[in-house]
Amino acid sequence: MDRFQEMRVFTAVVDAGSFVAAADALEMSKPAVSRHVAELEQRLGVRLLHRTTRRLSLTVEGEVFLARCRELLSGVDEAEAEVSARGGSAVGLLKVSAPVSFGIRHLAPLWAEFMARHPQLTLDLTLTDRFIDLVDEGFDMAVRVARLPSSSLVSRRLASTRMVLCASPDYVRKHGAPSRPADLAAHAVLGYSLFATGDTWEFEGPDGTESVRVKPRMQTNSGDTCVAVAVGGGGIVLQPLFLVGEALESGALVEVMPGYRSVELGIYAVYPTRKHMPPKVRLLVDHLAERLSASGQRDVDPGR
C-alpha cells in the first residue's frame, strides 16, 4: 500500500475540488481516485471529505490531515530536489522577485543560462520595485537593491552600487549646480517615491554626514523616468550608478556636487531562511553571485 500515493491523491482531490478534476490532473481514472480516497478513509477510520452532488468539503479531521499531508509531501519534494541538486540541477517552480530597472539591465541576460543548466526548473519572475513580503506572497527569493534593514530574512550580498547626484549639462548651464546639500532647496529636484528615506537625501562631505529634505518638482516610482527627465534638462536626480552610468559616460548627464558622496547600496539575494534552504534557491543565488562578480565591476555599472 502506497501511503504517499494516497496522500497525493487526497490532496489533489481537495485542490481540484472534485474527483473528476483530480483524475484529470493526476492522469488517473476516476474510479482509481475514488478508491484511493475510500481506502485511506477506511484505514484511518474517519471520514475526510463531505460529499454531495454539487461539492466536496473537508471534515474537521480532513483539515488536520490535509495540513500534515502538505507538510510531508513538501518534505519529499524537497528531499528529491536536494538529491537532484547534488547532481548539478534544480527542479520545480522557482518564484523570484527583482527590481524593475536592475532586473531588465543586469539580471535579464543571466536567466537563459540558468534555465539551460536546469531544464527541469520553471522560473516565475516578477519585476517590481514594491517591497514584497516573501513569505506572505509565496516567493522563494528576491533580489533587492538597498541598505538592507535587519529582519527575519536571510541575505547574501551579490554586489554593490552607489547613488549619484547628477543633472544634464543644459540644466547646469541654465540654473547652475549646487555646491552643498542645502543648495538643493533652490533647485528642481526629481524625486523617486520609493526611496526608503523618502524625501530626505543623505550625503557624506568634508564635515561628515549631512541630510537634506528636498521638495521634488516631480515625483515618480520609476527610476528610469527620473533619469529620462534629468537627461531632458528637467532637474537634478539622485539615482544608482547602474541607472545613470551610461548617461554619465555619454555626457548626457554630469555629476554635480562631487565633493559630497551619497549612500552606497548593496545588491542582495534575500530568502526566508538558511535552514532547509531549497537547493533551487541556493543554485540561483550562486549563479547570480558568480555572474555579477565575473564582470569585476564593483558598482555593477554598464558604463564603466
C-alpha span between 6 and 10 (Å, rounded): 6
Picking from 66-70, 197-201, 245-249, 292-296, which range would have the lowest pLDDT averaged per residue? 292-296
Residue 238 and residue 192 in contact, taking contact as beta carbons nearer than 8 Å: yes
Residue 198 belongs to domain with CATH number: 3.40.190.290
Q: Which domain holds residue 193?
A: 161-263
Domain count, the chain: 3
Residue 247 and residue 127 in contact, taking contact as beta carbons nearer than 8 Å: no
Does position 150 have pLDDT exceeding 80, yes or no? no
Rg of the chain in Å (alpha carbons): 26
Residue 189: Cβ within 10 Å count = 24
DSSP state of 18: S
Question: 271 and 151: one domain?
Answer: yes
Find residue 49's DSSP bridge partners. 58
* Closest to 123 (Cα-Cα) out of 93, 98, 103: 93
Q: What is the mean pLDDT of residues 289-303?
A: 62
Q: What's the pLDDT score for residue 198?
A: 86
Question: 153 and 273: one domain?
Answer: yes
Residue 50 and residue 58 in contact, taking contact as beta carbons nearer than 8 Å: yes
Q: Is residue 166 in a domain?
A: yes
C-alpha span between 9 and 23 (Å, rounded): 9
Q: 52, 77, 102: which is the final residue of a domain?
A: 77
C-alpha span between 197 and 211 (Å, rounded): 10
Does position 136 have pLDDT exceeding 90, yes or no? no
**pLDDT tens track for 96-113:** 999 999 999 899 999 999
Question: 59 and 100: one domain?
Answer: no
Find residue 127's DSSP bridge partners. 98
286 band by pLDDT with thresholds 50, 70 and 90:
very high
Residue 156 belongs to domain with CATH number: 3.40.190.10
149 band by pLDDT with thresholds 50, 70 and 90:
low
